[in-house]
Amino acid sequence: MRNLLIFISKYNAFFLFLIFEISSLVIYIKYNSFQKATFINSSNQVTGNIYGRVNKLNQYLALRESNDSLMAENSRLRGQLASSFYADTAAKHTVNDTLYHQQYTYIAAKVINNSVNRANNYITINRGSNEGIAKDMGVICSSGLVGIVVNTTAHFSTVRSFLHKDTKISAMVTDTKDIGSMIWSDDLGPHTGLLIDIPNHVKPRLGEPVVTSGFSLFPPGISIGKISKLNAKGGGFFLNMEVNLSVDFSRLEYVYVVINKLAVEQATLEAQQKKDDPDTNN
Amino acid sequence: MIRTLIINVIRFVALVFLQVFLLKNLTLYNLSTPYPYIIFILLLPFETPNVLLFVLSFILGLTIDAFYDTPGLHAAACVLLAMVRVMFISITVQKDGFDNEPEPTLSVMGFRWFFAYASVLTLCHHFFLFNLEVFRISEIQYTLLRFLLSSVFTIFLMLISGFLFFRSKERK
């Protein structure tokens, strides 16, 4: 006992250290929730790690089942998307005016299929004969001319895009009101059209806007583009010009179908003329 | 004796105030946090009994903890510091020299000894403090960086204070 006391008093610093260190650590662990949680759980880090690895392996083995169930769920959810429903209300915008009789009405439609990189490009829109769309109607969008309806079903229509080899639309340079035709070929790219058959005496300027003339099935003054190059290939007695198209066909989303109320009357009249005089070309 | 007591009480209060109200808000680049309050333990007289030394360290640590909201953390580090101090002094200082040199200050013990003394004690204290605070091996790199930079900062402040209260040997 005496030896023990001597031993303790000789190394009193160490025992004091032990007493105070342990008491402060007890305080620390007792009053600090983070260290408490870690202290209690630190032995579980090993077991938790192993559990995690085994679980990963099990997941890998069940990959096929989980894939199948995910696919089924995907298809079910896809059917509930708003975009998979067909909106059957088509807003027609007409203005009642007693002085001017409405000649053109517009039907808004959404582009659901489109291409710009082929020689002959077509656009599909989600409005059809149910909404009153018929063959040979013009299609425009907010920034300009888009194309001509070539086929309709009950709910859809195919539009021959301006980017088509057979496109030929009557156009007009705005400064001098001279009439020509807009055509396109696939070597021009989706941002350029060709304005041909402008008479040689006309002096158009670069950047001059080109719009539809009143002779087309479009309302007059629909924007087509701006002249970007004055002397393009070919031409002969006429001026050929490259036109920078105002519509970005690769980003088409909403278009308007133009319904010309007098188109039938005009077509009948012109057909009558043709029948009377088969040699005339219009 | 009374004078030593008064000086140490004032030192205690002043260092706690400095640590809690000024240096607590001071961090360099989120890495270097100085804890120069431990100089109170370093500067206790050589004759201080071990019991008193440990009790004072424990109380100082708990006082700092009360302001830092970490009960026990600084207390544990300070008790360890007291232990290291006892060991360091028993190794480097002759027992019979105590009468002439009452306090292990910079002016009494010289720069070399004081620098080694402050460095060893600060490193021990800070190493224990930062690792106990983080309590995680996975962030050991960041912890060690903080520990080293903070130690440098603390030792720097200690040396500055040592020179600031430098009393030349003639006046002793």
Q: Which CATH number characterizes residue A191's domain? A: 2.40.10.340
Facing B76 at nearest CB: one of A24, A30, A38? A24
Q: How far apart are CA A170 and CA A214, in angstroms?
A: 8
Question: Is A5 a domain residue?
Answer: no
Structure tokens at B93: 């200082």
Q: Domain for residue A227, yes or no?
A: yes
What is the interface pTM, i.e. ipTM, of the complex?
Answer: 0.75
Give residue-wise pLDDT tens across range B31-78: 888 899 999 999 888 888 888 889 999 999 888 888 877 788 889 999
Residue A214 in domain: yes
Do B75 and A13 lie within an 8 Å CB cutoff? no
* Interface mutation vs chain A, best among B44, B79, B81, B130, most A CBs within 10 Å: B79
Local structure of A215: helix, strand or coil: coil
CA nearest to B103, candidates B47, B158, B151, B53: B47
Q: How confident is the model at residue B170 (pLDDT cuts 50, 70, 90)?
A: very low
Report if residue A32 sits inside a domain: no
In 3D space, the residue among A142, A179, A176, A149 whose CA is nearest the CA of residue A164 turns out to be: A149
Q: Give me the phi and psi of B9, to 5 degrees please.
A: -65, -45
The pLDDT score that the predictor gives to residue A109 is 84
- What is the band of A282 on the pLDDT scale with cuts at 50, 70, 90? very low
**Residue A100, H or E segment:** none
Mean pLDDT of B163-170: 71
Give the pLDDT of residue A91: 57
Look up residue B139 and give its two tokens: 């962030």
Measured CB to CB, residues of chain B less than 8 Å from chain A are 50-51, 54-55, 57-58, 61-62, 70-73, 75-76, 79-80, 82-83, 86-87, 132, 135-136
- Taking contacts as CB-CB distances below 8 angstroms, the residues of chain A near B79 are 17, 20-21, 24
Contact B125, B35 (CB under 8 A): yes
Copy the structure tokens of residue A27: 């305080």
What is the mean pLDDT of the segment spanning B101-128?
86
- Percent of chain A predicted with pLDDT > 70: 79
> What pLDDT score was predicted for residue A207?
87
Closest CA to B159 of B33, B36, B72: B36
**Any residues with CB less than 8 A from the CB of B53 and at least 6 apart, and which?**
B41, B44, B82, B85, B86
For residue A101, the enclosing domain spans 91-262
What are the tokens at B70?
């970490």
User: Which residues on B lie below 8 Å from A48 (Cβ)?
Assistant: none
The answer to whether position A270 is within a domain reads no
The CA-atom distances, in angstroms, between B90 and each of A164, A202, B74, B103, B118 are 99, 110, 24, 14, 15
> Is A180 a member of any domain?
yes
Residues A103, A104, A109, CA angle at the centre, nearest 5°? 160
Q: Supply the pLDDT for residue B143.
A: 86
Q: Domain for residue A74, yes or no?
A: no
- Specify the amino acid at residue A240: N
A16 → closest Cβ in B51, B61, B76: B51
Among the listed residues B79, B69, B73, B78, the one whose alpha carbon sits nearest the alpha carbon of residue B15: B78
Nearest 5°: phi and psi at A113? Answer: -155, 140
Nearest residue to A164 (alpha-carbon basis) of A178, A145, A180, A179? A145
Instruction: Choose among B71, B80, B135: nearest Cβ to A21.
Output: B80
pLDDT grade for A38, boundaries at 50, 70 and 90 = low
**How many domains would you assign to chain A?**
1
The domains of chain B are located at: 2-14+36-166
The residue that leads in pLDDT, A186 or B172, is A186
pLDDT digits (tens, 9 = 90+) for B129-139: 988 888 777 77
In a domain, A139, yes or no: yes
Looking at chain B, which residue has its C-alpha nearest residue A21? B76
Distance, in Å, from the CA atom of B74 to the CA atom of B61, rounded to the nearest integer, reads 5
Encoded tokens for A230: 């004055």
For residue A89, give the nearest of A131, A141, A134 by alpha carbon.
Answer: A131
Nearest to B71 among A13, A19, A28 (CB): A28
Kindly determine whether residue B51 and residue A12, on different chains, have CB atoms separated by under 8 Å.
yes
